[in-house]
Structure 1
């Protein structure tokens, strides 16, 4: 059987690693710009391709988004009417859970205060708190959010999860819907945003919602910058209503050099790397979906464009 031909487009990911991993799944990956026989291409592995990209490949039957978040893809006007899948790799979930746990522990153990004291050459003791006395609110209980919430609970934190639709999770108090959000924000010592970007979540954490957070709480964002009113967040940090923040995502990326966030010692900035797709493990799901696409079986991680995830 001839290898399936897949077009690749991403400005950031390691093409050679993806090509080698997919070769083991009998998928021939080529850079989109190097493909001459466009009619042979039945699949595309992409991250934010340029407008008009898909028109070059008239026989597409599957689009694979190079990540778990599909907001940059499903809102496009040039998207072909074919199935879209997102990567659903356990290693991505584990990587995200590790980052979230790092951020939660950093705030729970007062590490930013110790970092400031070190710069001042000042011995500064703060007595550690029992994790069971610290409330962690996790907004978004999808695959990544749920894994992170469970990891925090495993470490002894009191975790409250909030989602769009009701979910029951052992060891985690859950709630759903707009009316329940205020209670989660107001009762959490650390709020972790893991929501998908949709029409309903864009700008959800505005000045009014941030004001509902417990005074002196910490904020962690690993989802999308557009979910948070960035200027309102900056003001809440300036006033101390939000004491500290760990931010991996921003409204504009890279974060502009003039952003006040850069100079705030209350803020840790990382460049959108809380979780990335790992070719060696994610290729298995892609290869399986290529086979399912050929046989007409249900696809893994299929996206509902109407819902946005």
Structure 2
């Protein structure tokens, strides 16, 4: 019997317990899934950073911590977590992110906000074709690649940038500081899907925002600290950046007095771009436990030096 501790908020148990048990059965695993295993009997921990567990020291038998979250910035510095940590790359979450990003890119591309605002006027403005609208994806992990590929399929010329070299069919892939400048130079729409690490904080700042062509638009469903808020507000106030759609923030919920709420050229969405889906993420968890039991490599193992 494999003992699996579910260490997330109680309301998550209701959503995940049945899909996890079904996924374990489908994988041929005999699992005792509980919220209250004695620490020294636990083989695996299904974990959420906002749950009740913060000290991993007593879990001396634990083979791996399997996070339900894609981001690991809230746990990566926990010195008591010495066992392997796997982040969540969930097909359902990926699909949700692709849909959200594609929707907002098309909203910008087709100037849908302008059409809605002009319901009392007949002033036709014909949008360019997708092939005439350069898009830049900052971040080429699983989510960034999935979104970039979808936008490429729709006809957008997509440039991708990442801190390390990547190669994706149809996508112009750049990396490093010089690559970032090149990726931003012609971008009419910029999407941020980088991890939150010290190296990625304020990727968009006063200097890099100035590299964008005037009237560029920004979409951030990645992490709040990727953008310098004050630099973005200055760029919006000057008109250099035409609009920003922001789903993530340095402080969440976004404080009621933050300027983003009232700015006419900012759209705030409440961290809804992508959510881990119970059924599909349960299958990922089950597959990782199966791998752990037979000695195969972990899926989505976190590189602690890289921070993701």
Deviation at 1:289, TM superposition (A): 1.2
| Residue number in structure 2 paired with 1:188 | 187
Give, in whole Å, the separation in 2 of the partners of 1:236 and 1:77.
39
Of the structure 1 ranges 143-152 and 268-277, higher mean CA displacement relative to structure 2 is found in 268-277
Do structure 1's residue 30 and structure 2's residue 34 form an aligned pair?
A: yes
Deviation at 1:50, TM superposition (A): 5.7
| Residue number in structure 2 paired with 1:40 | 41
Do structure 1's residue 148 and structure 2's residue 150 form an aligned pair?
A: no
Deviation at 1:29, TM superposition (A): 3.5
Deviation at 1:156, TM superposition (A): 0.7
| Residue number in structure 2 paired with 1:220 | 219
| Residue number in structure 2 paired with 1:77 | 79
Deviation at 1:133, TM superposition (A): 0.5
Q: Give the TM-score taking structure 2 as reference length.
A: 0.91
Contact 2:247 2:270 in 1 (8 A): yes
Contact 2:68 2:281 in 1 (8 A): no
SS in 2 for 1:55: coil
SS in 2 for 1:72: coil
| Residue number in structure 2 paired with 1:112 | 113
Count of residue pairs brought into register by the alignment: 301
| Residue number in structure 1 paired with 2:205 | 206
Describe the shift of the 1:3–1:182 C-alpha distance in structure 2 as closer, same or farther (beyond 3 A): same
Deviations 1:72-94 (A, max 9, x none): 2212233x210110112222222
Give, in whole Å, the separation in 1 of the partners of 2:66 and 2:57.
16
SS in 1 for 2:174: strand
Deviation at 1:287, TM superposition (A): 0.9
Segments of structure 2 that go 5 or more residues without pairing to the other structure are 25-29
Alignment of 1:53-68 (within 5 A): 53-68=55-70
Give, in whole Å, the separation in 1 of the partners of 2:118 and 2:57.
57
| Residue number in structure 1 paired with 2:295 | 296
Describe the shift of the 1:105–1:22 C-alpha distance in structure 2 as closer, same or farther (beyond 3 A): same
Contact 1:7 1:41 in 2 (8 A): no
Contact 1:27 1:287 in 2 (8 A): no
| Residue number in structure 2 paired with 1:167 | 166
Give, in whole Å, the separation in 2 of the partners of 1:167 and 1:150.
13
Alignment of 1:271-290 (within 5 A): 271-290=270-289
Give, in whole Å, the separation in 2 of the partners of 1:15 and 1:211.
46
Q: Give the TM-score taking structure 1 as reference length.
A: 0.91
Give, in whole Å, the separation in 2 of the partners of 1:225 and 1:190.
18
Deviations 1:208-234 (A, max 9, x none): 111111110000011100111011111
Give, in whole Å, the separation in 2 of the partners of 1:28 and 1:232.
51
SS in 1 for 2:118: helix
Contact 1:5 1:40 in 2 (8 A): no
Deviation at 1:56, TM superposition (A): 4.7
Deviations 1:110-148 (A, max 9, x none): 112223334xx4444321211110000001111110010
Contact 1:136 1:157 in 2 (8 A): yes
Give, in whole Å, the separation in 2 of the partners of 1:73 and 1:85.
11
Do structure 1's residue 264 and structure 2's residue 263 form an aligned pair?
A: yes
Contact 1:64 1:84 in 2 (8 A): yes
Deviations 1:230-254 (A, max 9, x none): 1111121111111011111111111
Deviation at 1:295, TM superposition (A): 2.9
Of the structure 1 ranges 223-232 and 263-272, higher mean CA displacement relative to structure 2 is found in 263-272
| Residue number in structure 2 paired with 1:132 | 131
SS in 1 for 2:271: coil
Describe the shift of the 1:244–1:294 C-alpha distance in structure 2 as closer, same or farther (beyond 3 A): same
Contact 2:221 2:248 in 1 (8 A): yes
Segments of structure 1 that go 5 or more residues without pairing to the other structure are none
